[in-house]
Amino acid sequence: MQDSKGDQDRLWFDLLLIILLGIIIGVLGAFAANGFVIGAKTLFELIPVSPEQNWWQNFSVHWLVLVIAAGVILALKRLNGIARWHGPADTILSAQVPKEPFQTRVGMLSTLAAFTSASAGASVGQYGPVVHFGASVASFIRTMIPTRIKPEVYLAAGVAAAISAGFNAPIAGVIFASEAILRHFSVRALAPLAVASVSAAAITNLLFKRGAPYDIAPLDFSMHEVIPLLLAMALLSAAIAILFMSNLLKLVSWTGKQNNEPLTIFLAASMMAVIGTIVPEVFGLGTATVNLFFSNHFELTYLLIILGAKFVASILCLGMGLFGGVFSPAIFLGACSGTVVGVIAVMLGYPVSVVPLMTTVGMACVASSVVGAPIAIVVIVFELTQSYQYAVAAIFSVAICSLISTRTYCYSYFDRQLLLRGFDLRHGRENLILGKVKVADLAISPVKGLSPADRCEDIVTSLCDTNNTEAYIVDEHNSLLGVVTLTNALRSSGLTAREVIDTDPSILVVDQSLKQAMEVARKFVGEAIPVVSSDNKLLGSMSEGDILGAVLTLQEEMKADERN
């Protein structure tokens, strides 16, 4: 009875702690997200340019500001010894692989670098850095207030708060954190995610007086009439998303091979100044321009110019060192391409109302393919528009667009980044963890090696004494030479081990992963697999049951995370 009361008291304590931590993460996440967005927008508006000045004057000012920002980013990286900036891909990896610790300090400095880029007008995003900063804040809180809550849940709560504050979409915040970060729905994680997300939205509305970032007017349309447009939008968006992601990573690879970071980042700043001065709409975060897309503000020809300029500018900035997020550029490119489709549809006889619809759907399609969160993006559309019709239209196109981009390229830009770093998320979290657990981490049974000069009769006696069916033959340095089975020893009386040895047995190396051990065990026939060091010294043996047991234990631990 006392134990039951103690468990109940512990439950109430955990509940209060979860609520408290969720509120703290939500409040700090809201300040981080709003501080980034408002601060970057305010600083960019302070840049002294105006339409009254000539092209050269405006270019000179933008160029100077961007070059200074490039210098600050370069200095931040060099002075802090950072090999590369961190972003949402690192948040995902830390959530999926417990052995990949989240680097809080690098995460915060990465957000500062992204803030510097956005404030100077570079064509980079806000939501990716804000998401990673939200995770950084949550990771810091975990070090200050350790609990039984798993580290990945802290990270996901920070991400939920950031998305909620950025889009004023608390439901989408919870779903995005579950879909893109945790990669599974966890009852255990739902409470801290929900508390953090709702708290962030409440603080955003209360203290910062910010509503939804995009002003989308309500519409009434017939779904059957716009299905051809929705299908066309899905196909076009998939092409744009794939081209954007693939070309960006190609440029990132090319930049790394140049081994001259100062040159590439200052070159990016200069080209951004040229493109932005010619097409001012591509500067900065682009939220105001996206809102102009909804109101059908631009002619078709200029829309195509904006689309091309934003595409090139974003790839140059992100690929050559002006660090930032890919979420906002994806939203911009999707919204612009959607407006193009809408304007063309109006020319073909559709009502003008299809322009904001296609803009919204395009925005959702490209963003969902780039960030890998189709359900969360549809929910964001629903929360932004408060329209069931918008959400249904969005999910139709998003589903087709995501299917195409996933099958032909990758689940998301972040997944592709991780794949290039050797982490394949396509087979799920289990595959990653099995790849990180080493044979050395498992229970290895000790064995005694026999000499190649031992006679088969002696080997039979030794195997019978130890109840084994396989003898491991080693040289004087304990290096594994091969295996002699009991069956071979019995029918080779009078011969030595050297004459009947199998010199090409299945073996496990301590540096191999549990995933690789499973592949070896799958083809193995026998009692136990010898385990050797990297220099072929015999360390022991491991049965197929030992390997399977380790796999089942890991699977059970992962399933437990998804249960309450």
Sorted by where each begins, the domain ranges of the chain are 2-207, 223-258+278-432, 437-558
The tens place of each residue's pLDDT in the chain, 564 residues long, gives 455 565 666 667 777 888 888 899 999 889 988 998 899 989 998 998 877 778 888 999 999 999 999 999 999 999 999 989 999 999 998 888 766 778 889 989 999 999 999 999 999 988 888 888 888 888 888 888 777 778 888 889 999 999 999 898 999 999 999 999 988 887 778 888 999 999 999 999 988 887 778 888 888 778 888 999 999 999 999 999 999 999 999 999 999 998 899 999 999 999 999 999 999 999 988 888 999 999 888 999 999 999 999 999 999 999 999 999 999 999 999 999 999 999 999 999 999 989 999 999 999 999 999 999 999 999 999 999 888 899 999 999 999 999 999 999 988 999 999 998 888 887 777 777 777 788 888 888 888 889 999 999 988 998 888 888 889 999 988 999 999 988 888 988 889 988 899 888 889 999 998 888 888 888 888 888 999 999 999 999 988 888 888 888 877 777 666 555
Neighbour count for residue 468 (Cβ, 10 Å): 17
- Which among 116, 95, 398 has a CA at the least distance from the CA of 233? 398
Is 550 in contact with 174 (CB distance < 8 Å)?
no
The answer to whether the 2-207 and 223-258+278-432 domains have the same CATH topology is yes
Give the torsion sign (CA, 232, 238, 239, 241): positive
pTM of the model as a whole:
0.85
Two tokens, residue 26: 């939500």
CATH of domain 223-258+278-432: 1.10.3080.10
Q: Tokens 């955990």 identify what position?
A: 14
Is 293 in contact with 339 (CB distance < 8 Å)?
yes
SS (H, E, C) 198-213: HHHHHHHHHHCCCCCC
CA dist., res. 470 & res. 190, Å (int):
51
Q: Find all residues with CB under 8 Å of 161, minimum gap 6, and list them.
A: 25, 26, 28, 29, 30, 33, 134, 138, 173, 196, 197, 199, 200
Name the DSSP letter for residue 261.
H
CA dist., res. 62 & res. 484, Å (int):
76
Phi and psi at residue 52, to the nearest 5°: -70, -25
Is 294 in contact with 217 (CB distance < 8 Å)?
yes
H or E, element range at 190: helix 187-207
Neighbour count for residue 55 (Cβ, 10 Å): 9
CATH of domain 437-558: 3.10.580.10
Is 124 in contact with 325 (CB distance < 8 Å)?
yes
For 2-207, which CATH class? Answer: mainly alpha
